[in-house]
Amino acid sequence: MTTRSSIASIEVPDHSERQSYSITDLSDEFGVTARALRFYEDEGLISPERQGLTRIYSRRDRARLAWILRGKRVGFSLTDIREMIDLYDADEEHEAQRRVTVDKCRTRIALLTRQKDDIDAAIDELAAFVSALEQKSASDDVAAFVAAIDQK
C-alpha cells in the first residue's frame, strides 16, 4: 500500500501492511535513529532477524517499537515498557497486559497531574514575584519590598 501517514507532522510512507522492514524503513517511519533501534535490540525490547549483517524487522518488532516510543513519549521507563509489551506474549487474551498497562497509565496520570499542579503553583508564585518587583519603585527600601512579598 502506498498511502502516507503523518508522524509528528512529517509525511512518511505507510508500511503497516508489509511483513518485514529494514532498519531504514523503521527509522524513517518512526523518526528514530538506527542507533536507537540497535539500542532497543540490545535491551531485548525488539529482536530482528539477521541476514548476514542486515537486520530484518517483523511486524511484531514494528508493533513493539510503536509501544516503546509511545511509552517513552509519556514518560515510562524502559523497565515499565518492557513489562507491558512482554505481557502481550504471555497471555493469549492480553488481559494481563491491559490490566497492567491501565494501572501504569493511571499511576503516570496521577504523577503528571501532581507535577502539573506544582508547575502551576511555581508559575503563580513567579508571576506574583514579578508583579511585586514591577510595582516597587527604585526608591523603596529592601524592608518594604520584603514585607510586600511576605503579604502575598
Structure confidence at residue 133 (pLDDT): 86
User: Cell 540490545 sits at which residue?
Assistant: 42
Given a contact cutoff of 8 angstroms between Cβ atoms, the answer to whether 46 and 61 are in contact is yes
Q: What is the model's pTM? A: 0.70
Query: What is the C-alpha to C-alpha distance for residues 121 and 113, in angstroms, rounded to an integer?
Result: 12
User: Cell 508583579 sits at which residue?
Assistant: 131
- Ramachandran angles phi, psi of 50, nearest 5°: -125, 140
Structure confidence at residue 15 (pLDDT): 58
Q: Which residues of the chain have pLDDT under 50?
A: 1-4, 6-10, 138-139
Structure confidence at residue 92 (pLDDT): 80
Structure confidence at residue 139 (pLDDT): 46
Query: What is the C-alpha to C-alpha distance for residues 118 and 56, in angstroms, rounded to an integer?
Result: 45
Query: What is the C-alpha to C-alpha distance for residues 2 and 4, in angstroms, rounded to an integer?
Result: 6
Structure confidence at residue 23 (pLDDT): 96
Edge-first strand order for the sheet with 49-51 is 20-21, 54-58, 49-51
Given a contact cutoff of 8 angstroms between Cβ atoms, the answer to whether 76 and 104 are in contact is yes
